[in-house]
Chain A
Amino acid sequence: MAEMTVIEAIRTTLDEELARDGRIFILGEDVEAGGVFRATEGLAAKYPGRVIDSPLAESSIVGVSIGAAHYGLRPIAEIQFADFIHAAFDHLCSEASRWSYRTKGDACLPMVVRTPWGGGVHGGQHHSQSIEAYYTHLPGIKVVAPAFPADYRSLLKAAIADPNPVLFLEHKRTYRLIRQDVASAPAETVIGRARVARKGGDLTIYAYGLMLHESLAAAAALASEGIEATVVDLLTLQPLDVETVLETAKATGKALIVHEDTLTGGFGGEIAALIAEHAFEHLDAPVRRLCAPDIPAMPYHPNMEHFFMPDREKIAAAARDLAAY
């Protein structure tokens, strides 16, 4: 099982974890049949009664998981598309994120909410969204957004072991697009750490999920032009690895933040603010954000979808400008 896709990494990890710990169970729509992306394929038969179809109601999926986690089980909730998680926002914002805080640690919620996010699949406005910024604004919830299969494996294990609610974001475009030899690949095993995925002295690109792969592709193209970029795979957005963000910004003096969420209020603003606040003296150029335009959501038609999403060409162009500054 050396080389595997993102979806295989997730499925094998769920399988291993279900086998390891009898307290773990999966709750979500269509999960008994394997889920619409096949993340849970075969698991219902292998673990009878522990892969549970929920009614089509996201508030139920998260609310019931909260109760089960409070009881001491280890629920893994699946929200079929991140776009539909909004119905459960109340439970994540008003309840889960505050469970430990409002009881001063008397109670906690060891639960994971897995959900496919992001665009590039012709999913239109309601199957393409980036939701991370809503949840990085909720101290009490951890937000993880890996890019490579090995990290999906190790961070999903870490999320399950964590005594706090973890929102585990799976970029749906990468499910079958990205492969990796997980046996020999580096894997981040701790929630809260970023990784320098590529080193270069001219600028630093910050990204996560699909955009991390696009950024690496852009960096490879730039190298042939003599521009060397550091690429940081953020991996965890909350709590953010501030140290790695600042170290890399200081080392290169130029920062380009890439995400497919819309610009205003997006997570990139937080990284830009951190760099402006703590690395200002090291900067050789204004911090640059490359994000989706401020329109309500990703449009359906491929022409407009491409227009909406950053990609390797747009990233390379922005990086060239920044390097030349």
Chain B
Amino acid sequence: MTAARPRRPRSREALPDYLLSEQQLEDMYYFMLLSRRLSERMMALNRQGRAAFVIAGAGQEAAQVGAAMALKKGTDYLAPYYRDLGMNLVFGMDAREAMLNLLGKRDDPNSFGRQMPSHWGNAARRIVTQSSVVATQLLHATGIGLAAKLSNDPIVVLTCCGEGSTSRGDFHEALNFAAIHRLPVIFYIQNNGFAISERTEKEMPVENVADRARAYNIQSAVVDGMDCVAVYQTVRPAVDQARRGGGPYLIEAKCYRLWPHSSDDDDTRYRPRKELEEWAKKDPLLLFRNRVETDGVFPREDLDEIEARVEEEIREAVQWALMQPDPAPEDALGHVYKEL
């Protein structure tokens, strides 16, 4: 974790009710906050004409950070989707890299300016490269699970998509394949209520994506995706079970997309403001902060300090990233094939 030292030492013992240590809880807040504030800055850069496109995970930070923290960094694989900034941060991306990616800079380690922003990938960090085509990554994750099983490696792969992606054949094929071979794959569905403008009732005739797991003989759970602690507590046992050979697991995190689909979308065409205001009260950052403050885990000043640290990291990262070189035109060429 990249979180800097807090002003007093954090305990690494699990707190009752949380099953997480103070240090883990601080990391949780840090990553959620970093994800949100980065996204806000990205959108501002877009409105200033400095970034062509932004697609973010505002409202899904708890779902992302809680799940990613349940994995073993450096060991387990992540096959994310485009909203998963929070997951990537937990897996090692920092504010500078996030900005390189947004700006399509030459040295963006995700795709070196070759893909739109938020198309993640970093082989060393075990983050699998992805395209804009939804749900294909579920089959890639299944293949990683198969390879790990054939190699007797005790790793787990967690793959993400939105509920809209579960309409695609690849979702069903991946569940089917992973279940047949009992592969260590966590299918992590972030149900944010929208596939661009379409509500879930236009995407599926069942209430929960998790309901579909039964048809594939896969264990499943539904969790409040606005509650980071609950997410961790749900995903962690599934990861542990998969690592022990217990087979795949489908977890549906119910969350809410607080922003339009992307910087190019106008959600006022299809979403009443009243609805948005109601959900904003359940903002995952707000919920987390209120809980740890009320429970006395951290004093208010500590949380404010994390906020200040995040602000400073982002300020520095934006300034730095804007100065970084763009790809040269001819950088479009090369690496079409991997050389032996």
Contact = CB atoms under 8 A, between A and B. Distances in A.
Interface of A: 25, 49-50, 52, 54-55, 57, 59-60, 63-73, 75, 90-91, 94-95, 98-108, 139-140, 142, 161-164, 239
A38 B308 CA distance: 66
B180 to A, nearest CB: 7
A100 B146 contact: no
A162 B146 CA distance: 21
B338 interface: yes
B140 A104 contact: no
B111 to A, nearest CB: 5
A164 B145 CA distance: 21
Contacts of A52: 146
B147 interface: yes
A67 B150 contact: no
Contact of A63 (B114, B136, B335): B136
Contacts of A75: 143
A18 B129 CA distance: 28
A70 B173 contact: no
Interface string B111-122: 110110001011
B139 A100 contact: no
Most chain B beta carbons < 10 A, residue from A67, A71, A102 = A67
B220 to A, nearest CB: 20
Contact of A104 (B114, B141, B339): B114
B113 to A, nearest CB: 9
A68 B147 contact: yes
Given A95-B133, A106-B121, A67 B180 contact: no
Given A94-B133, A98-B131, A105 B140 contact: no
A59 B173 contact: yes
A105 B111 CA distance: 10
Contacts of B110: 103
Query: 4 tightest A-B contacts by CB?
Result: A67-B143, A63-B139, A71-B147, A108-B338
A162 B340 CA distance: 7
Interface of B: 77, 79, 109-112, 114-115, 119, 121-124, 128-129, 131, 133, 136, 139-148, 150-151, 169-170, 173-174, 176-177, 180, 334-340
A106 B337 contact: no
A142 B180 CA distance: 31
29 contacts: A55-B176, A59-B170, A60-B142, A60-B173, A63-B140, A63-B143, A64-B146, A67-B128, A68-B144, A70-B128, A70-B144, A71-B144, A71-B148, A72-B147, A73-B147, A90-B136, A100-B336, A102-B115, A102-B121, A103-B110, A103-B121, A104-B111, A104-B114, A104-B335, A106-B121, A106-B124, A140-B336, A161-B340, A163-B337
B112 to A, nearest CB: 5
Nearest to A66: B140
B237 to A, nearest CB: 24
B128 A60 contact: no
Contacts of A104: 111-112, 114, 334-335
Given A64-B177, A101-B114, A102-B111, A50 B338 contact: no
B336 A59 contact: no
B176 A95 contact: no
Contacts of B337: 100, 140, 142, 163-164, 239
Contact of A67 (B114, B131, B144, B338): B144
A94 B131 contact: yes
Contacts of A50: 150
B122 A60 contact: no
Given A60-B173, A163-B338, A67 B146 contact: yes
A57 B176 contact: yes
Contacts of B176: 55, 57, 60
Given A59-B169, A59-B170, A163-B338, 10 more contacts: A25-B150, A59-B139, A63-B136, A63-B140, A67-B146, A72-B147, A91-B139, A100-B337, A106-B109, A140-B337
Contact of B141 (A54, A65, A67): A67
Nearest to B148: A71
B142 A67 contact: yes
Contact of A100 (B77, B142, B338): B338
B173 A63 contact: yes
Contacts of A105: 335, 338-339
A107 B112 CA distance: 13
A102 B142 contact: no
B317 to A, nearest CB: 21
A66 B140 CA distance: 6
Contacts of A164: 337-338
B336 A64 contact: no
B184 to A, nearest CB: 12
Contact of A73 (B124, B150, B334): B150
B209 to A, nearest CB: 19
B182 to A, nearest CB: 13
A57 B338 contact: no
Nearest to B112: A104
B143 A70 contact: yes
A95 B136 CA distance: 8
Contact of A70 (B119, B140, B335): B140
Contacts of B147: 67-68, 71-73
A63 B175 CA distance: 13
Contacts of B142: 60, 63-64, 67
Contacts of A106: 109, 121-124, 129
Contacts of B144: 67-68, 70-71
A239 B339 CA distance: 13
Most chain A beta carbons < 10 A, residue from B115, B121, B123, B335 = B335
Nearest to B109: A106
Contacts of A100: 335-338
B97 to A, nearest CB: 13
A52 B180 CA distance: 12
